[in-house]
């Protein structure tokens, strides 16, 4: 094929296999039937149409066959945290419905940015996914520079959302939010709160509490929520805001005490626990967790994954399990999930600046 023919083929490959190329092929076939010799420009068009058509069919076949091998689901935090718990719960059900294992990979560190960078650079073929929390949209504002862009990802689905719980060690002297505030104010700069990293929902919840209640506390960042627990148990940390997914077992084991939740009203799963807004007027904060894919992942793969995720989260066993822990299954996918996250990014940018919340 000549250079000019190759250039035409390349241009047509970029244009796709839409109606224009179908019209080209129909015209070429008509000319051939009338006895014309197909050469030059028309030969190029015929070859390129067939080649691009074959490539499109092959791509469609790959989408229809997905998944043909294990899918890797990256978790930006250490094992045992809320992202990890949700990833394993969802991954188990997706593996059952899709017929391939979902391999959970915990890539903790750098406020969740290690996993996000890996996912952003992964081949967009549907075999690498990531489950971040709200730090995904907050870190670009909070940290200023992160190794990914929001547009590097496509929203597959929101997975769950819910409040956090304000906890203290079981041996702590504080038995109410009012007592905690009184003690913190009596010793400025002494009380330390832990989180799974800057920009994580536990960090933001505590920073917002610090701002709204006018408290002087010190932030200690860890690789993940589960890493906070040992220092809470031994009293090195004085308080933390943690997901009910993590807190429930520790409260039952007698290691932690819940003083409040960040919900707008008391949770049915914890009716005796006050909402923090009952003490700190206007306080309300909700965490959320999402399933993302690299932006160029085929739409057919993303749509199927969104449908399967919604179905998994609608499972009565999953609904009951999450509700008992104070977390609500979501399952909103595609454009709606993307719009929610854009709104959250704008909202938290305003909150971070107005409340002067930064990295400590």
pLDDT digits 0-9 by tens, 198-225 = 889 999 999 999 999 999 999 999 988 8
Same-domain status, 251 and 233: yes
Measured CA to CA, the distance from residue 73 to residue 92 in angstroms comes to: 11
Query: Residue 7 burial by CB count (10 A; 0-12/13-18/19+): exposed, middle or buried?
Result: exposed
**Percent of the chain at pLDDT above 70?**
82
Give residue-wise pLDDT tens across range 18-51: 455 555 555 655 555 665 555 566 555 655 555 5
Average of per-residue pLDDT across 131-136: 94
Is 90 exceeded by the pLDDT of residue 7?
Answer: no
Q: Which residue has the higher pLDDT, 269 or 312?
A: 312
Measured CA to CA, the distance from residue 214 to residue 227 in angstroms comes to: 27
Supply the pLDDT for residue 62: 58
Is 80 exceeded by the pLDDT of residue 107?
Answer: yes
Give residue-wise pLDDT tens across range 53-102: 554 444 555 567 899 999 999 999 999 889 999 999 999 999 999 999 99
Q: 149 lies in a domain?
A: yes
Give residue-wise pLDDT tens across range 221-274: 998 888 999 999 999 999 999 998 889 899 999 999 999 999 888 888 788 999
Same-domain status, 56 and 147: no
Tokens at 321, concatenated = 């399990």
Supply the pLDDT for residue 74: 98
Q: 283 lies in a domain?
A: no
Q: DSSP string of 147-204?
A: SS-GGGEEEEEEEEEE--EEEEETT-S--SHHHHHHHHHHSTTT-EEEESSTTSHHHH
Is 60 exceeded by the pLDDT of residue 356?
Answer: yes
Q: 337 lies in a domain?
A: yes
Model-level pTM greater than 0.85?
A: no
Q: 360 lies in a domain?
A: no
- DSSP 3-state of 350: helix
Tokens at 83, concatenated = 């992202």
Same-domain status, 90 and 110: yes
Q: 197 lies in a domain?
A: yes
Same-domain status, 264 and 169: yes
Supply the pLDDT for residue 120: 97
Same-domain status, 102 and 147: yes
> What is the tally of structural domains in the chain?
3
Average of per-residue pLDDT across 121-125: 97
Rg (C-alpha) for the chain, rounded Å, is: 26
Pick from 12, 39, 65: which residue ends a domain?
A: 65
Same-domain status, 313 and 326: yes
CA torsion through residues 108, 114, 115, 118, sign: negative
Same-domain status, 209 and 313: no
Supply the pLDDT for residue 323: 85
Q: Please say whether the beta carbons of 345 and 141 come within 8 A.
A: yes
Is 50 exceeded by the pLDDT of residue 14?
Answer: no
Say which residues have a Cβ less than 8 Å from residue 2's Cβ, sequence separation at least 6: none
Ranking 8-12, 190-194, 309-313, 322-326 by mean pLDDT, the lowest is 8-12
Same-domain status, 182 and 227: yes
Buried b (16+ CB within 10 A) or exposed e, 191-207: bebbbbbbbbbbbbbbb
Q: Which residue has the higher pLDDT, 321 or 155?
A: 155
Same-domain status, 212 and 240: yes
Domain, as residue range, for 137: 71-161+289-354
Pick from 278, 299, 327: which residue ends a domain?
A: 278
Supply the pLDDT for residue 1: 43
Q: 294 lies in a domain?
A: yes
- DSSP 3-state of 230: helix
Measured CA to CA, the distance from residue 251 to residue 255 in angstroms comes to: 6
Say which residues have a Cβ less than 8 Å from residue 101's Cβ, sequence separation at least 6: 70, 71, 95
Measured CA to CA, the distance from residue 36 to residue 238 in angstroms comes to: 86
Q: Which residue has the higher pLDDT, 308 or 9?
A: 308
Same-domain status, 190 and 137: no
Same-domain status, 99 and 139: yes
Same-domain status, 83 and 115: yes
Average of per-residue pLDDT across 307-321: 94
Pick from 13, 41, 65: which residue ends a domain?
A: 65
For the chain, the helix, strand and coil percentages under 3-state DSSP, each to the nearest 5: 50, 15, 35
Q: 284 lies in a domain?
A: no
CATH number for position 201: 3.40.190.10
Supply the pLDDT for residue 322: 87
Output DSSP code: residue 205: H
Average of per-residue pLDDT across 111-132: 97
Q: 128 lies in a domain?
A: yes
Supply the pLDDT for residue 324: 78
Confidence of residue 297 (pLDDT cuts 50, 70, 90): very high
Element (H, E) at 258: strand 256-261
């Amino acid at each position: 094929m000549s250079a000019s023919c190759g250039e035409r083929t390349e241009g047509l490959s970029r244009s796709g296999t839409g109606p224009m190329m179908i019209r080209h092929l129909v015209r070429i076939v008509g000319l051939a039937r009338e006895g014309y010799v197909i050469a030059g420009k028309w030969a190029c068009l015929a070859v390129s149409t067939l080649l691009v058509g074959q490539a499109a069919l092959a791509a469609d076949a790959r989408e229809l066959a997905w998944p043909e091998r294990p899918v890797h689901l990256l978790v930006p935090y250490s094992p045992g945290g809320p992202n990890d718990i949700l990833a394993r719960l969802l991954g188990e059900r997706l593996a059952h419905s899709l017929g391939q294992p979902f391999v959970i990979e915990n890539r903790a560190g750098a406020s969740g940015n290690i996993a996000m960078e890996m996912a952003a650079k992964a081949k967009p073929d549907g075999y690498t996914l990531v489950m971040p929390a709200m730090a995904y949209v907050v870190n670009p504002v909070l940290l200023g520079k992160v190794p990914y862009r929001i547009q590097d990802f496509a929203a597959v689905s929101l997975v769950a959302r819910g409040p956090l719980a304000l906890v203290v060690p079981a041996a702590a002297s504080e038995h109410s939010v009012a007592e905690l505030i009184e003690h913190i104010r009596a010793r400025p700069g002494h009380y330390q709160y832990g989180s799974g990293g800057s920009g994580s929902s536990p960090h933001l919840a505590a920073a917002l509490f610090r701002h709204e209640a006018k408290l002087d506390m010190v932030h200690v960042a860890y690789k993940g929520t589960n890493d906070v627990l040992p220092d809470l148990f031994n009293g090195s940390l004085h308080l933390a805001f943690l997901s009910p997914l993590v807190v429930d077992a520790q409260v039952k084991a007698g290691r932690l005490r819940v003083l409040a939740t960040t919900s707008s009203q008391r949770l049915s799963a914890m009716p005796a626990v006050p909402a923090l807004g009952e003490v700190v007027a206007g306080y309300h904060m909700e965490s959320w967790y999402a399933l993302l894919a690299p932006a160029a992942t085929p739409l057919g793969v993303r749509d199927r994954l969104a449908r399967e995720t919604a179905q998994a989260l609608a499972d009565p066993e999953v609904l009951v399990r999450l509700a008992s822990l104070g977390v609500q299954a979501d399952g909103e996918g595609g454009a709606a999930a993307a719009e929610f996250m854009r709104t959250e990014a704008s909202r938290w940018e305003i909150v971070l600046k107005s409340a002067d919340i930064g990295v400590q």
